[in-house]
Structure 1
Amino acid sequence: MRINHNIAALNTHRMLNSATGAQAKSMEKLASGLRINRAGDDAAGLAISEKMRGQVRGLEQASRNSQDAISLIQTAEGALNETHSILQRMRELSVQSANGTNTDEDRDALNKEVVELKSEIDRISSQTEFNTQKLIDGTFGTQVDQDTTSSTILAVAGVTGANTNGGVDAGTWTITAGDGVAVPTGAFSISDGTTTLVSQVWTDGDAGTLTFGNGEITVSLNNAALGADLDATAIVISGSGNTFQIGANENQTLALSIGDMSTKGLSVDGVDISTSTGAQSAITSIDTAIKSVSDERAKLGANQNRLEHTINNLSTSSENLTAAESRIRDVDMAKEMMEQTKNSILSQAAQAMLAQSNQMPQGVLQLLR
């Protein structure tokens, strides 16, 4: 028998600490409802779970974005519905004015209504907006960013210049020059294919508009007339418009453009039914305008239907990812309760055994009697 070291008590104490620690962890999991409360619980599971959480939150926000996009489309479509009604009335008046039974005074009276109807079309076009963004005045287009694919410094006639090559999509773009760079207005017209543009620098100038088809564009800055080195000047090509973020990840977007639905954009600004000839011409012009509005509304309707399916898909994806994340991170309450009960019993038993083991050295006193 030894009294300096109570091995039984030490072993019991170690088991008591183990049971108490396991019980504390079980209580933490039961209180939080999570199997993983810190990285030490499951490092790999935590990393996977956090990625899934990010995706779920992104999907939920994308769903809200899609709902906002539908609201925007409905706003534009509602305005175009009224534009349609006005155009139908204008066509009706044009057909009436084209009839030979009308006098000049009759046609003047009919034309006055047409003038007011055209003003209303322009008012609708200029004032229809969503979150301060004009929708049907032609400024709500498709935003496509231009990415620089290469940049090379060349020597041109003894002058150092800078070339920038980049691929861009079809559309209307504005080349904005910084201080000291001139971009002549209306100087560019690009067709499909690869085209090189050269603009001189070192003189102040205004921005120009660049319209082009599909293909690649090379914009070069140099100044062969000056016998001195020039610093490279950046060119930013930007277009007005909008894209909707309808996914949780990069480039999961929907591009939407809405045409100019004003009388000028619909080519009915010059409609005049004060004469029989003008009325006949107006019928054709208004028919074309009605078709343009119909096409625009059809496009908006198609995008709205697409977004509704997008929202359904986002909801399903979010639900499935949430379930997957739950299986990784959430605790099985019934199983953990069993563990907690087991550890509680072990802890109580260890405490009792520790008391017993502490009494064992007392047996030495019996030898001294």
Structure 2
Amino acid sequence: MTSIHTNITALTGQQNQRKSQSDLSTAMERLSSGLRINSAKDDAAGLAISNRMETNLRANDAVSKGLNDGISLMQTAEGALDGINGLLQRGRQLALQAASDTLSSEDRSAIHNEFLQIVEEVDRIAMDTQAFEKHLLAPTSQRQEVTELGNTKTIKNALQVAKGAWDNGRSSGTDPIGFIPKGTTNLVIEINSLGADDDIQLFTRNGAHLVGTPMVEGDSNATDATWTARGITTEQDMKDDLLNEANGFSDQVAYDGSSLFHNTSHYDATGGATRTVAGMEITYSGDGDWHDNVINDGNNSPYPSTAYERVLIQEVKEPLFLAVTGSGSYDMMVDWDHMPDGPPKHPTSTPTDIVMSANSGDKANKLTIEPTPADSQTLGLDEISLSTGQGASAALGALDDALAKVDEYRSHYGALNNRFDSAIDNLTQQSISTEAAQSRILDADYAVETANMMKVQILQQAGQSLLAQANQLPQTALTLLG
């Protein structure tokens, strides 16, 4: 049918022209962006799949960074443990040296003083080592104040009067009056035995007799009457009556008087001789009942009359048990500049969760790095004393246990480090494979898109030419009117 109102041929040409124009726009968009899918209309399913892959790729990247942070954290802790291991090795070497009977008490005291510095350095490393604000080597909780060892309270809780005041009419015996905490400074202990024979005795937790009057098994001439009057004539008697767990001493305790500061040179109730015992500077008046050479008895008398005794310790380096032995009554005064109410606050270690994987649609898979506390208390160093031969021999087992624990920690970190390295390698390979799959879905094929663009450009040019001819078709109707 010939019609001038509706040009079907031109309309068809216009429709094809619009389609070729849309195809040309699509081809140019893909070639300019490099992507086959630029919006959901290009490939709705492919876009969803590609988006999930992108989620996994970004997750793998974040997880890899977290794993590397975990490796850095463990390497920091392992490096610190290596330093602690070196200190423990030196401590064991000192214990072996102190266990030899060829050393004097002064030699052992010097060795013990070095060991105390080792213990303090172990604590400093354990408390100060951190990465990402994590303290993996610190204790898992705050150290609690120790107000009682066995049935023995701290001296300030055991006193019936204020510090620096005289507590009169006390009964002497063999049970500890109280213990003096580590860290106490300028400690002064004075007694007046009121003319009787009562003596100050100081012990460490492992049974080392540091200050007082001797107890020598099997030698009544060398054993002070304050012990024999209480029926203590053997080391087993000493352990049963005084150095037992109920009184707060170590379960492995054994009496050791090799470091005893007896001060037989002279007696001075207001001063005395000074020695370093178990790493502590101690000034001791001596036992007035044992001395003929009296410098000062407190009453300007040439001989002891009231039997004053005095002990001054500059700084207490380990808990000390105070007892006053004898069979009478005495007055006592205890004073100090500083006595810790409890251990100082310190960082604590907590578990550290490291994400191992977090794929789209899955929960985060985590691995927990557990704390590895390596402070002196956890490693069992706080009760070691090298001031006596017996203490040094017992210390070897404790130091071996501490070294074994450090080795266990380091092995744990080494195994986790290898696992994290393997996980990072696996995530890298996953990302490579995922990116390849995503590229096949998402990226434009330049060969195909270039061919498509050339095709639609030709179609568009041909369509324009044919559309011009189609627009001339209605003019044929004019010939019918002529």
Q: TM-score, normalised by structure 2?
A: 0.52
Q: Percent identity between the aligned chains?
A: 38
Aligned to 1:265: 378
* 1:346 is the counterpart of 2:347: no
Aligned to 1:158: none
Contact 1:66 1:246 in 2 (8 A): no
Aligned to 1:27: 28
Partners of 1:86 and 1:313 in 2: how far apart? 38
Q: Relative to structure 1, is the Cα distance of residues 252 and 299 closer, same or farther in structure 2, using a 3 angstrom cutoff? A: farther
Aligned to 1:123: 124
* 1:111 is the counterpart of 2:224: no
Partners of 1:21 and 1:250 in 2: how far apart? 37
SS at match of 1:45: helix
* 1:321 is the counterpart of 2:434: yes
Partners of 1:249 and 1:4 in 2: how far apart? 60
Q: How does 1:119-158 map to 2 (within 5 A)?
A: 119-134=120-135
CA shift for structure 1 position 299? 0.4
CA shift for structure 1 position 123? 0.6
Q: Relative to structure 1, is the Cα distance of residues 362 and 249 closer, same or farther in structure 2, using a 3 angstrom cutoff? A: closer
SS at match of 1:242: strand
Q: Relative to structure 1, is the Cα distance of residues 68 and 276 closer, same or farther in structure 2, using a 3 angstrom cutoff? A: same
Q: Relative to structure 1, is the Cα distance of residues 286 and 40 closer, same or farther in structure 2, using a 3 angstrom cutoff? A: same
Partners of 2:83 and 2:385 in 1: how far apart? 21
CA shift for structure 1 position 133? 1.4
Any stretches of 5+ residues in structure 1 without a counterpart?
135-238
Aligned to 2:44: 43
Residues 32-71 of structure 1: CA distance to partner in whole angstroms, max 9, x if unpaired?
1111111111111111111111111111111111111100
Partners of 2:361 and 2:18 in 1: how far apart? 50
SS at match of 1:101: coil
Q: Relative to structure 1, is the Cα distance of residues 71 and 98 closer, same or farther in structure 2, using a 3 angstrom cutoff? A: same
Aligned to 1:52: 53
Contact 2:52 2:360 in 1 (8 A): no
Q: Relative to structure 1, is the Cα distance of residues 29 and 251 closer, same or farther in structure 2, using a 3 angstrom cutoff? A: closer
Contact 1:94 1:279 in 2 (8 A): yes
Contact 1:243 1:253 in 2 (8 A): no
Contact 1:35 1:331 in 2 (8 A): yes
The structure carrying a bigger helix percent of its residues is: 1
Contact 1:65 1:246 in 2 (8 A): no
Partners of 1:248 and 1:124 in 2: how far apart? 39
Aligned to 1:65: 66
Match for residue 302 of structure 1 among 403, 412, 415: 415
Q: Relative to structure 1, is the Cα distance of residues 258 and 345 closer, same or farther in structure 2, using a 3 angstrom cutoff? A: closer
Contact 2:23 2:456 in 1 (8 A): yes
Q: Relative to structure 1, is the Cα distance of residues 65 and 243 closer, same or farther in structure 2, using a 3 angstrom cutoff? A: closer
* 1:286 is the counterpart of 2:287: no
Q: Relative to structure 1, is the Cα distance of residues 252 and 305 closer, same or farther in structure 2, using a 3 angstrom cutoff? A: farther
User: What RMSD in Å do the two structures reach over aligned CA positions?
Assistant: 2.0
Residues 146-176 of structure 1: CA distance to partner in whole angstroms, max 9, x if unpaired?
xxxxxxxxxxxxxxxxxxxxxxxxxxxxxxx
Match for residue 248 of structure 1 among 359, 362, 371: 359
Partners of 1:20 and 1:300 in 2: how far apart? 64
Structure 1 counterpart of 2:353, one-letter code: N
Q: Relative to structure 1, is the Cα distance of residues 93 and 65 closer, same or farther in structure 2, using a 3 angstrom cutoff? A: same
Any stretches of 5+ residues in structure 2 without a counterpart?
136-349
CA shift for structure 1 position 240? 5.4
Partners of 1:259 and 1:270 in 2: how far apart? 26
Larger Rg: 2
Partners of 2:351 and 2:63 in 1: how far apart? 22
CA shift for structure 1 position 76? 0.5
Aligned to 2:468: 355
Deviates most, 99-108 or 311-320: 99-108
Contact 2:36 2:444 in 1 (8 A): yes
